[in-house]
C-alpha cells in the first residue's frame, strides 16, 4: 500500500489492542448508507510510471523562448536556493507553532521581514500573503481599517495597475461592499496623471493604489501621486516589483511621507514561473498601523536564559485567536516560497539585485529597439519604463502572437484582452536570462510574421 | 546569528548576478533609489551554510513524528516534489499560450476529475491557494447563490463553536455575520441549538465532519436537512478530509460546497507555513459560481485539447481569486500523490489514519490519560485533556508539549479546539508505523512520571532544543520585527 | 571574485596582520622565473550562463530510447535517493577521519557493508572501490595475496567476463607481473564449461573468476565452476550484478564452499548511468581473508559511555598507515554513490529488488521474442540468461545500430568490437523502465532498418 | 538505531518497485536464490527519515568550517551539482554512440584543454577515478616510458618521507620498490640525500610542491635536474595544486607527469569519502602512454565533432583504468567550476588560499602556538605542533582536535605528515571568510586555556557530538562489520 507502512501483523495486533475485529469496525459511528462506493479513478501507478508521465507532459510545454512578463518574470534562480529550500527540515515542517522546535523557520521569516522592509523602506513586513493579486485585496482591506480619518469603503485604483490584480482584488473585497474605483490613464504616457485624479478631490476614499512600474512597465510619478493622496486624506498603497526596488525609489520614500502600505508579487525573488504559483505576496507597512496587518508576524525575543530567539507575535490580529474579528482569514501562507526568496536575496544582495535589474532593463530596451526597427512597429507610450515595454503592431496582436508561438517564441501578451482600446498592442519583457541571440531571434521571427 | 551579522560591505556571491553592469540612464533621477537597501552582503558559501544550519533548527516530517492535530502531517513523497520541479513545469509562464500548455493543463484537468470523484462533488475548481481561501471561495459562492435568487435577507453564517478560526474569519470576509452553535459534551453539534438558530437569515452552516473534536458527527444528515430546509447551504471544511477519504464523500453527507487542504490530505509539503492549495468542490446548485480559472477539455479531431474556462464559460463565476492559477506547483504535487494512490490507495487513507488514531487513543487511555470523548471512536485524530495534570501537578498542556520536544517528538496541537480544557489534539496519520506511535506514548508516560516526581523540571522544558522556552510576552511588548543596521551597531 | 568572500578591506587588514604589503609577497619563496603567465582559457561566466550551456549540451544527448546494458543499466531511481544524498551533510563531508563528527557517514557505510554482505551472502564488505572493472583488478590482487596455497601470479579469467573489466584489470595488475589467463567460451551456450577448464588442471593459479550472469547475459554453471576451482587450489572470485542477486544464488552459496571474494559494479543500485561514473565497485569476502581486503572498512563499537557508535577500523591494511605495504593504494573511494545505493536498497528491500529483477528479465525476454520474430534475427546462444541477451542479425551490427540510432534508439552494443568471432551480434537489455510501446518501437525500427 | 532495527517483515516502499510481479520460469532451480537476502523492510518515510537524521550526524562544508589539511575542503558550488544532474547527462549510457554524445564529449574535451593550460602540461587524460588512481596512471606511464626504451634496470621510485601514503602504495602497485628520501627541518627535501639516492635504478621521483609540510620546495629546479640527469622522471602529486593554481604550473617546475584531485582543487564534493577524480597531465615524453579514453576533436565540414581516442589513436597507451570513462559526473562538476572561475578566477585560487593560510598561521603564532616551520611562508596550509602541550599538559593533538569539534569546527588533519610530532595540518582554503578563520583561532585559544586549567576535561572531549569518544581498540579487536539477523535477536 503506497506510503502505508502497516503489515498484516501490525494491523492484527493494533486491532487487538483497540479491541475490535476489523478496520471497518472503527467506522461504526458512520451511517452505513453514506459509506463510499468504489471510485472511478485510475488504478495506482508507481513512481517510475508517474515520473515518466510527468516528464512527457512537462516536455510538451518546454523549449520555448518566453518574453512574457505581465507580473511574472523569468529570472535566473541560483541552484543553491532550491537545494537548500528542499531540505526536509524546511520543506516538511508545519507552521512554527512550537517555537523552540522551529527556530530555523522562525529566523528565516525574521530575516525575510527584514529584507522586505529594507527593500521597500517600510517599517515592518509580515510573513507573506498568497500572491500579489490577493495581496492587493488584503492591502485595500487593511487601508480601510487603518485610515481612521476616512469612513469610506472605496479605494482609488488606476487602470495602470495589473488588471489581474484588480480583478482578483475586486472579487475578494466586493463581498464586503467595498468598491475599487477605476482611474483612467494617459493615452500618450501610459501613466496615471494628477489631472485624471482631480475629479476625485474632496471625495472620501480610504486609499489610492499606485503601481510602480505600472502594468505597462511605465514609471508613474510616484512622488506627486503620493503627496496628492495624502493631501486628500487617503492612505497610499504601493504595488511594486521587488526587483525594481534595487534601482527605483522605494515606497517608503515616495513623496513627503512615503507610502503607508507596500505590497507586491514576490515571485521575481527566486521563485520559478511554475504556471503561476506557488508565488508569494509581500506586504509591508508603517509601524503605526502594524496592528491592522493581516497574516503572521515573527518577533525577536529571548529565552529563559536570555538567549536570542524568535517567535510568532501579535497573534491577536489573527484568525486562530481573534476569529471573526481577525484582520484576515489567512492561515497557511507561502512559507516555503518566502524561504526561497530569503535565500535568493542573501545570494544577490543589493548589488546583485541591481545588476539583475539593470540587465533586464537593458535587454528590454535592446529588444524594444530591435522590434521597433521593423516597419510599422512602434512603442505605444512615450514615458520611461522599467524592464517591460508595450509595442503597437501593424496587425492583430492575437494572431501575431499565435504565429510567433509556432516558432516557439512567446512574444508577450495581447494587451487588447485587458484594454480594448489598446488594439494591436503587445506587452513584453526580456529579462537578464536572454542573450543577444535570443533577442535577435525574436526580431527575425516578428519581421517574418509581419511580412507574411 | 543573523545573516546580516555575517555581512561585510562589498562582499558578494559573484556568480549569481550578471557579470556586467549596464548603467541605467533613461530613468529620471527623482524616481531612482538613493541609498542602497540594507541587505546582507555575503558569499555564496556563507549563504548555503547559514540557511543549511538554520534548517537544522527545525522539526519536520522528514526528521520527526509530528502528530499535529488538524494539520495531517503525513509523509510528503519526494517524487511529488521532484515531478513538480521538472524544468518544463518550472519554466512555464502562467500566461503561456494554451497550445504550449497542454502538458500542464492535462494534469490540472485530471486532478479536477479525481477530486470530484473522491469527494462526490459535481465540480471542482483548483484555484484557491489554501484552506482559508477555499473557504472564502465557498462562502462567496453561497452568497452568489442567494444573491442570484435575490434572497438578500440571508446575512448569517452558522458555525459550531469548535470550528477553526478561519471559518468565522472567512464568513466575515464574505460580508456575513457569524452565529456560533454550541457543541455538546460528546463533541457533536447541539442539534436543538442549531434548530433554534436556523431561519431566513441563515445563509449557510460551515462545519467539518469529523469535527475538530476528532469525532464523527453522527447526526450529519439531520443537520444537513435542518439547514437545507431553512434555505441555507452546507459548507464542508475539508481540513478533516483525511479522516474520511475513501470512506464517505462529503457530497453524500449533504454538503453543497467544500474545500480540500491538499497540503494535508494530499500530502503536499507544508513548507514551514505554506504553500498550500485549497481546491473547492461544489454540488449542482453552486456549479454556476465556481471561481476561475478552471480547465476544460474539448475534443478536436478526436484528440483531447485542454483550455482555460473563464468568465465566458462560467458567466456567473465569482471570478479569479489569485493573479494566475493559484498554487499550480502544489497542485502538480497533489496530482502525483493522487495518481500513486489511485483507486485502491485512496480508500486506505481513512482506514489507516483511523486505525492509527484509535490505536494511539487506546494506548493513551490504557496509560491513564484522560480522553475528551471517552465513549467515542477516534477518527483520524483524538483529544486528550491534561486538566487533571494541570490542577493536581501544576503541569499544563503546554508544559507537557514542551517536554515532549526533548524526547524528539513534535507536540500535538495544544489548546485547540478551545472548548476542551488543557487539550492535546493528536493526529498520527496513516503513514506512521506502530513503532513510532508506541514511542510517542512511552514518552508521554515518562513525562507523566516526571511531572509527578519533579513538576518544576517539566515546567521549565524544553532543554535539548537550540533555545529554551521563549519569552512571548517580551516579543509582543517590545516589538522587534526586523533587523536594522542602526539598531545593531 | 567567484567563491572568494574577501573584500578589499579584508585583504588589507589580513596583510597587515601577516606583515606584508601584498598578496604577491606571500609567494616570495617561489623562484620568479617559474611564475605562471596568463592562461589561454575562457573568461569566467556566471552560473546562469553555465547552466544554459550545460542544459543545451545535455539536451543534445537526450531523447533516446536506450537498450544498451553491457555492465551499466537504466533503472528507476526513487526521487528520495538523490534528494537525501544531496543533503550538504552527506555531499560535502570528507572521509570520516573524525569519527565523532561523522557518525552519519559511518553508520551509512556500516549499513552498506551489511547490505552488500547479505546480498552476496558473504561475510564482510568494504566501504567501496572505484568501479566494477578496477574492482576486479583489486580482487585479483587480493586473491593472490590471500591464496596461501598458491605461489602463482596467474588468475584464470573466462572470456565471458566483461571485456572492459578484463581490459581494465589487466592494465592494473600487469605492472606487478600478474597474468590474467583467458578461458574460452562455448560457442553454442555462450558460457564457460568445465571442458574448457580441464586443460588448466594441475597448473598453479591463484584464482578463477566467475561472472554471473556473464557478459552475454548468460548464466554460468556457478556451482560446478566453483567446486572445480576449489578442487584445484584456486580461490573463486565472483563477479556479480547486484540486481540479479535478488533472484540468483548469491556467491557465498555457490558450490560446496561458496566463492571467496565477490565483486561487482554497484551502479544498478540507485546510481544514474551518467556516462559511466561515478559508480562504485563493491567487494565482499570471507571473514578469514578480511585482512587482505583493500579499501576502508567500518566497524561498530561503543563510546566512553557505552553508547553504540561507528568508526574506521582495520586501518593497518591501508596506505595511510601501511604505506608501501598496504593492500591497495586506494584512498578516496566512491562514498557518496555508495550512500545512494544504501538508500536505494532500503527503499527497495529484498522484495522490491526481486520485482525489479523480474521485470527487467521479463522485458528482455519480451523484446527478445519481438526481435527474433523478425526474419533472420536469432538469439546467439541457447542457454538461460538473466535480463540481457545476444542476438545475431542478418547484417552488419555496426551499421544496423547506427541506423537505429538515427531513429533515436540505442539498440545495444556491437559485440564484434570485443569478440571478432561474434560477427553481426548485438548485446541488448530492456530494463524495468521500458514499456511495451518502447519494445515494439524497437522491433519496428529494427524491422524497417533490416528491410531497407 | 540501524535501519534493520526499524524493519518489519512484509513492509515495503510500494511505489518504488514495479507493481506487478512476473514469475521467472526460465532459470534453472539450482541457479536461483533460496533464501531472500536479509535487508531492511521499511516504508519510504522510514527511509527518508532514517537517512535524513543520519546526515544530521555529520560535519560538512555546508555546515561547518572544515580546515582538513591536504584535503582542500572548499565550497562546492551547488550549481556544479545541479548541472551534472541535468537529466540529459544523468541518462547518457557510457556506451552511447558518439553521434548522440556530442554534448557530453564537448564538455570533456573543453575540460582537458583547460586543465592542460592551467598545469602547463602537454596532454591530459581525465579517466583516473581519484588521486591515487591518477598516481597509478602516472607511475605506470613512467614505467611504460622506461620499458619502451628498454631501460629495464629502473626499479625504484624515490619518495620524500613526508609524502602521502598513496605515493609509496602506488609505486608498489606499479611494480616498483620505494626508496624514501628524508625531509630536512625546514620542510624541504634533503638534497644531499636525494643526490645520493638517484642513479640508474631510479625510475622517478614522486613529490608534491608545496610539500605536505605546507611549504614551497625552493630547490625544485635543482631537484628536477638531479632526477632528470639521472634518467628518472618527475611525478607531481596534485593534492596540493590548490596552493599554486594560477601562480606556478607544475609543467614549468619540471614535472613530467602529475595528477589533479578535482575533488580538492576543482571543488567537487567529497561525499563523505568520495567520489573524486584524478585526471593526469603529462609532458611531451609521456604523451604516447596516456590512459584511455581521451576525447579528441575533429573538424567535419567546419563543425567540431568530438570522438573517443583509444588504442588505435594512442597505440602505446597504458590502456583503460576504469570500465568506462572514470567518474564522468565528477568531471562535469569540475568543468562547471573551471568555467565559472575562468581565466581570472583561476589565478585567485592560489592567491587567496595562501592569504588565508598565512593569516591564520600568523594569528596562531601570535596566540602562542608553535609553528612547525616558523621561518617559512605558509602555502595554502601550514603545520602547528602541539608537542609542548602534549608534554607539559598531557593534552595531545588528538585531544585538541576532539575538543575543537565541540566548538563547531572540524579538526584539521592530525598526525600527518608523520615527521612532525603532535601535528595539525591546517588548510583553510580560499572560500572561507576571515571571520571564520578568527573564530577558529579563538576556539584554539580557549582550548589552550582549558588545557591549562583542566586537562582532564579536554582529554575526555568531545561532549556535544552524537557520541562521546569512540573505542577504536574494541572496534579492531572485536570485529563487528555488519549487522546480521541472528546476532540481534
Ligand atoms: C479545521 C481547519 N480548517 C481550516 C483550516 C485552514 O486551512 P489553511 O491553513 O490551509 O488556510 C485549517 C488549517 O489549519 C484547519 O485545521
Ligand atoms: C598529498 C596527497 N596525495 C594523494 C592523495 C590521494 O588522493 P585520493 O584520495 O584522491 O586518492 C591525497 C588525498 O588524500 C593527498 O592528500
Residue of A nearest to C56 (CA): A63
Q: How many CB pairs under 8 A join A and B?
A: 703
Tell whether C338 and C424 lie within a shared domain. Answer: no
Can you tell me the distance from the alpha carbon of B23 to that of B45, in angstroms, rounded to the nearest whole number? Answer: 28
CA distance A193 to A402: 34
Chains A–C, number of C-beta pairs less than 8 Å apart: 23
Instruction: Report the pLDDT value the prediction gives residue B485, as an integer from 0 to 100.
Output: 85
The pLDDT value recorded for residue C95 is 97
Longest Cα–Cα distance in chain A: 83
Q: Residue A236 in contact with residue A263, Cβ under 8 Å?
A: no
From the CB of residue D29, how many other CB atoms can be counted at a distance below 10 Å? 7
Q: Is the pLDDT of residue D489 over 50?
A: no
Taking only the tens place, the pLDDT of each residue in B235-292 is: 999 999 999 999 999 999 999 999 999 999 999 999 999 999 999 999 999 999 999 9
Peptide bond into D293 cis (omega under 30): yes
Q: What is the mean pLDDT of residues B343-366?
A: 97
A282 pLDDT above the threshold of 50: yes
Q: A45 lies in a domain?
A: yes
Q: Are residues C295 and C387 in the same domain?
A: no
CB contact under 8 A, D79 and B49: no
State which of D127, D236, D239 you would mutate to test the pocket of ligand 2, scoring each by most atoms of that ligand within 8 A of its C-beta.
D239
Residues A336 and A384 in one domain: no
Q: Any idea what DSSP says for residue B289?
A: G
**C residues 392-411 closer than 8 Å to B (CB):** none
Tens of pLDDT, residues D390-407: 999 999 999 999 999 999
Sign of CA dihedral D434, D437, D438, D439: positive
Kindly give the distance from the C-alpha atom of residue C331 to the centroid of ligand 2, in angstroms, as a whole number: 7
pLDDT at B109 over 50: yes
Where are the extended beta strands (E) located within C78-224?
124-125, 154-158, 179-183, 207-212
Q: What is the CATH number of the domain that holds C247?
A: 3.40.640.10
Low-confidence ranges of chain C (pLDDT < 50): none
Q: Do the domain assignments include residue C255?
A: yes
Backbone φ, ψ for residue A426 (5° rounding): -125, 135
Confidence of residue B489 (pLDDT cuts 50, 70, 90): very low
Q: How many CB atoms lie within 10 A of CB B196?
A: 10
Domains and CATH numbers, chain D: 79-341 (3.40.640.10), 348-473 (3.90.1150.10)
Measured over the CA atoms of residue B166, residue B169, residue B172 and residue B177, the dihedral's sign is positive
Q: Does the pLDDT at position D428 exceed 70?
A: yes
User: In this predicted model, what pLDDT tens digit does every residue of C274-295 receive, in sequence order?
Assistant: 999 999 999 999 999 999 999 9
Q: Which of B15, B63, B435 sits opposite D340 (nearest CB)?
A: B15
Of A5, A10, A46, the CB nearest to D46: A5
Question: Is there a domain that residue C59 lies in?
Answer: no
CA quadruple A343, A346, A350, A354: dihedral positive or negative? negative
D76: closest chain A residue by CA: A80
Same domain, A25 and A93: no
Chain A within 8 Å of C187 (Cβ-Cβ)?
no
Model confidence at D152, pLDDT cuts 50, 70, 90, reads very high
Number of H helices, E strands in chain D: 17, 13
| Domain span holding position A50 | 8-54
Q: Is pLDDT above 60 for B487?
A: no
DSSP reduced 3-state for B318: coil
pLDDT digits (tens, 9 = 90+) for D122-150: 999 999 999 999 999 999 999 999 999 99
The mean predicted confidence, pLDDT, of chain A is: 97
Residue A291 has pLDDT above 90, yes or no: yes
Residue that terminates a domain, selected from A297, A314, A343: A343
Residue D344 forms contact with B (CB below 8 Å): no
Q: What is the CATH number of the domain that holds C444?
A: 3.90.1150.10
Q: How far apart are CA D406 and CA C305, in angstroms?
A: 17
Find out whether A68 and A428 touch, Cβ atoms under 8 Å: yes
- Is a pLDDT exceeding 60 seen at residue B488? no
| Residue A416, in any domain of the structure | yes
Per-position DSSP letters for B407-456, written without gaps between them: TT----EES-STTSTTEEEE---TTS-HHHHHHHHHHHHHHHHHHHH-HH
Q: Taking CB atoms and an 8 Å limit, are A79 and D9 in contact across chains?
A: no
- Is residue C279 domain-shared with residue C420, that is, in the same domain? no
B-proximal residues of D, 69-98, CB under 8 Å: 75, 77-79
Do A90 and A159 fall into the same domain?
Answer: yes
CB contact under 8 A, A247 and B12: no
Whether the pLDDT of residue D488 is over 60: the answer is no
- Residues D248-254, mean pLDDT to the nearest whole number: 95
B chain contacts of residue A20, beta-carbon cutoff 8 Å? 358
Give the pLDDT confidence score for residue A328 in this predicted structure: 94
Q: Domain for residue A59, yes or no?
A: no
Instruction: Report yes or no on A3 lying in a domain.
Output: no
CB of A310 closer than 8 Å to CB of A109? yes
pLDDT at A1: 81
Per the rule left: phi > 0, alpha: psi between -120 and 50, beta: everything else, A338 is alpha
Q: Which ranges of C335-435 would DSSP assign to H, the alpha helix?
A: 335-372, 397-406
Q: Are residues C389 and C260 in the same domain?
A: no
Mean pLDDT of chain B: 97
Q: Which residue puts its alpha carbon closest to atom 5 of ligand 2?
A: D131
Residues A222 and A336 in one domain: yes
**CA angle, C337 then C343 then C345, to 5°:** 100
Instruction: Verify that A339 and A353 share a domain, yes or no.
Output: no
Strand partners, A281: A129, A265
pLDDT value of residue D487: 57
The residue from A316, A343, A370 where one domain ends is: A343
Residue D77, SS3 per DSSP: coil
Same domain, C176 and C105: yes
Please answer yes or no on whether B11 and C79 come within 8 Å at the CB atom: no
Report CA Rg, chain B.
25
Angle between helices D434-453 and D397-406 (to 10 degrees): 120
Q: Is the pLDDT of residue B184 over 60?
A: yes
Q: Does B18 touch chain C (CB under 8 A)?
A: yes
**Is residue A116 situated within a structural domain?**
yes
Contacts of A22 in chain B (CB under 8 A): none
Q: Which of C304, C321, C343 is the last residue of a domain?
A: C343
Report the gap between the CA of D9 and the closest CA in chain C (Å).
10
DSSP codes joined into one string, A79-103: HHHHHHHTSHHHHT-----SGGGBH
Per-residue pLDDT tens over the stretch A80-105: 999 999 999 999 999 999 999 999 99
Residue D458, pLDDT above cutoff 60: yes
Closest CA to ligand 1's atom 15: B239
In a shared domain, residues A330 and A367:
no
pTM, to two decimals: 0.98
| DSSP state at residue B309 | E
* Whether residue C178 is found in the same domain as residue C315: yes
CB A144 within 8 Å of CB A208: no
Count of domains in chain A? Answer: 3
CA of A313 to the centre of ligand 1 (A): 19
| Domain-located, residue A60 | no
Amino acid at each position: 500500500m503506497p506510503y502505508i507502512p502497516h503489515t498484516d501483523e501490525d494491523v492484527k495486533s493494533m486491532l487487538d489492542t483497540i479491541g475490535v475485529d476489523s478496520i471497518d469496525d472503527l467506522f461504526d459511528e458512520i451511517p452505513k448508507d453514506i459509506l463510499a462506493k468504489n471510485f472511478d479513478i485510475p488504478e495506482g501507478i508507481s513512481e517510475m510510471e508517474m515520473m515518466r508521465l510527468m516528464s512527457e507532459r512537462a516536455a510538451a510545454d518546454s523549449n520555448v523562448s518566453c518574453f512574457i512578463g505581465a507580473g511574472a518574470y523569468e529570472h535566473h534562480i541560483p541552484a543553491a536556493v532550491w537545494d537548500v529550500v528542499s531540505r526536509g527540515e524546511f520543506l516538511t515542517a508545519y507552521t512554527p507553532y512550537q517555537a523552540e522546535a522551529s527556530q530555523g523557520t522562525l529566523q528565516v521569516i525574521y530575516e525575510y521581514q527584514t529584507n522586505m522592509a529594507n527593500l521597500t523602506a517600510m517599517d515592518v513586513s509580515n510573513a507573506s500573503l498568497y500572491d500579489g493579486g490577493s495581496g492587493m485585496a488584503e492591502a485595500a482591506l487593511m487601508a480601510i481599517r487603518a485610515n481612521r480619518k476616512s469612513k469610506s469603503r472605496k479605494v482609488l485604483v488606476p487602470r495602470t495597475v495589473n488588471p489581474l490584480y484588480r480583478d482578483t482584488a475586486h472579487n475578494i473585497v466586493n463581498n464586503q461592499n467595498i468598491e475599487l474605483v477605476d482611474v483612467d490613464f494617459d493615452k500618450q504616457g501610459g501613466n496615471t496623471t494628477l489631472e485624471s485624479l482631480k475629479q476625485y478631490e474632496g471625495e472620501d476614499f480610504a486609499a489610492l493604489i499606485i503601481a510602480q512600474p505600472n502594468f505597462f512597465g511605465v514609471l508613474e510619478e510616484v512622488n506627486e501621486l503620493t503627496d496628492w493622496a495624502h493631501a486628500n486624506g487617503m492612505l497610499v498603497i504601493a504595488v511594486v516589483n521587488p526587483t525594481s526596488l534595487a534601482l527605483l525609489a522605494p515606497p517608503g520614500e515616495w513623496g513627503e511621507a512615503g507610502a503607508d502600505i507596500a505590497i507586491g508579487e514576490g515571485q521575481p525573488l527566486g521563485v520559478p514561473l511554475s504556471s503561476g504559483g506557488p508565488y508569494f505576496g509581500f506586504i509591508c507597512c508603517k509601524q503605526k498601523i502594524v496592528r491592522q496587518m493581516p497574516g503572521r508576524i515573527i518577533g525577536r525575543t529571548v529565552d529563559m536564559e536570555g538567549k536570542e530567539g524568535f517567535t510568532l507575535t501579535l497573534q491577536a490580529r489573527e484568525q486562530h485567536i481573534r476569529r471573526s474579528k481577525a484582520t484576515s482569514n489567512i492561515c497557511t501562507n507561502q512559507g516555503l516560497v518566502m524561504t526561497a526568496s530569503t535565500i535568493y536575496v542573501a545570494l544577490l544582495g543589493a548589488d546583485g539585485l541591481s545588476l539583475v535589474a539593470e540587465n533586464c532593463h537593458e535587454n528590454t530596451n535592446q529588444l524594444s529597439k530591435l522590434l521597433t526597427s521593423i516597419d510599422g512597429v512602434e512603442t505605444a507610450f512615450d514615458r520611461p519604463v522599467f524592464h517591460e515595454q508595450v509595442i503597437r503592431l501593424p496587425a492583430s496582436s492575437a494572431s501575431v502572437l499565435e504565429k510567433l508561438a509556432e516558432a516557439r517564441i512567446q512574444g508577450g501578451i495581447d494587451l487588447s484582452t485587458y484594454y480594448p482600446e489598446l488594439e494591436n498592442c503587445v506587452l513584453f519583457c526580456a529579462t537578464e536570462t536572454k542573450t543577444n541571440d535570443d533577442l535577435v531571434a525574436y526580431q527575425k521571427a516578428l519581421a517574418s510574421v509581419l511580412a507574411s | 546569528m543573523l545573516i546580516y551579522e555575517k555581512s561585510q560591505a562589498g562582499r558578494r556571491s559573484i556568480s549569481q548576478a550578471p557579470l556586467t553592469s549596464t548603467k541605467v540612464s533613461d530613468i529620471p533621477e527623482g524616481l531612482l533609489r538613493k541609498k542602497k537597501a540594507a541587505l546582507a552582503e555575503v558569499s555564496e558559501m556563507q549563504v548555503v551554510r547559514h540557511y543549511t544550519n538554520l534548517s537544522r533548527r527545525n522539526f519536520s516530517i522528514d526528521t520527526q513524528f509530528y502528530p499535529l492535530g488538524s494539520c495531517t502531517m503525513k509523509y510528503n513523497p519526494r517524487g511529488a516534489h521532484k515531478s513538480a520541479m521538472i524544468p518544463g513545469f518550472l519554466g512555464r509562464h502562467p500566461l503561456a499560450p494554451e497550445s504550449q500548455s497542454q502538458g500542464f493543463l492535462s494534469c490540472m484537468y485530471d486532478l479536477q476529475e479525481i477530486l470530484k470523484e473522491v469527494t462526490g462533488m459535481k465540480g471542482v475548481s483548483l484555484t484557491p491557494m489554501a484552506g482559508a481561501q477555499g473557504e472564502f471561495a465557498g462562502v462567496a459562492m453561497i452568497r452568489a447563490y442567494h444573491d442570484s435568487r435575490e434572497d438578500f435577507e440571508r446575512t448569517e453564517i452558522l458555525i459550531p463553536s469548535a470550528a477553526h478560526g478561519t471559518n468565522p474569519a472567512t464568513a466575515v470576509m464574505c460580508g456575513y455575520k457569524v452565529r456560533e452553535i454550541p457543541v455538546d459534551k460528546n463533541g457533536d453539534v447541539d442539534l436543538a441549538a442549531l434548530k433554534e438558530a436556523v431561519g431566513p437569515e441563515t445563509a449557510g452552516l460551515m462545519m467539518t465532519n469529523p469535527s475538530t473534536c476528532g469525532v464523527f458527527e453522527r447526526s450529519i444528515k439531520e443537520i444537513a436537512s435542518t439547514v437545507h430546509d431553512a434555505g441555507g447551504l452546507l459548507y464542508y471544511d475539508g481540513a478533516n478530509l483525511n479522516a474520511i477519504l475513501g470512506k464517505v464523500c462529503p457530497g453524500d453527507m449533504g454538503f453543497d460546497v467544500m474545500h480540500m487542504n491538499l497540503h494535508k490530505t494530499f500530502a503536499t509539503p507544508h513548507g514551514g507555513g505554506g504553500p498550500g492549495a485549497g481546491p473547492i468542490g461544489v454540488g449542482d446548485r453552486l456549479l454556476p459560481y465556481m471561481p476561475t480559472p478552471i480547465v476544460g477539455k474539448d475534443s478536436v479531431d478526436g484528440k483531447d485539447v485542454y483550455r482555460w474556462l473563464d468568465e465566458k464559460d462560467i458567466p456567473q463565476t465569482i471570478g479569479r481569486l489569485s493573479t494566475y492559477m493559484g498554487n499550480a506547483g502544489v497542485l502538480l504535487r497533489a496530482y502525483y500523490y493522487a495518481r500513486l494512490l489511485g483507486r485502491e490507495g485512496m480508500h486506505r487513507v481513512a482506514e489507516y489514519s483511523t486505525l492509527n488514531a484509535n490505536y494511539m487513543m487506546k494506548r493513551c487511555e490504557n496509560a491513564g490519560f484522560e480522553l475528551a470523548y471517552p465513549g467515542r471512536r477516534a477518527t483520524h485524530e483524538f483529544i486528550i485533556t491534561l486538566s487533571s495534570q494541570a490542577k493536581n501537578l501544576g503541569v499544563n498542556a503546554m508544559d507537557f508539549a514542551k517536554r515532549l520536544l526533548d524526547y524528539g517528538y513534535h507536540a500535538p496541537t495544544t489548546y485547540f479546539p478551545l472548548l476542551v480544557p488543557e487539550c492535546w489534539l493528536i493526529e498520527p496519520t496513516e503513514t506512521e508505523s506502530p513503532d513510532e506511535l508506541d514511542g510517542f506514548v512511552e514518552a508521554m508516560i515518562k513525562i507523566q512520571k516526571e511531572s509527578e516526581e519533579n513538576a518544576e523540571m517539566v515546567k521549565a522544558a524544553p532543554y535539548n532544543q537550540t533555545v529554551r522556552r521563549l519569552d512571548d510576552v517580551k516579543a509582543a511588548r517590545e516589538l522587534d520585527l526586523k533587523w536594522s543596521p542602526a539598531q545593531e551597531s
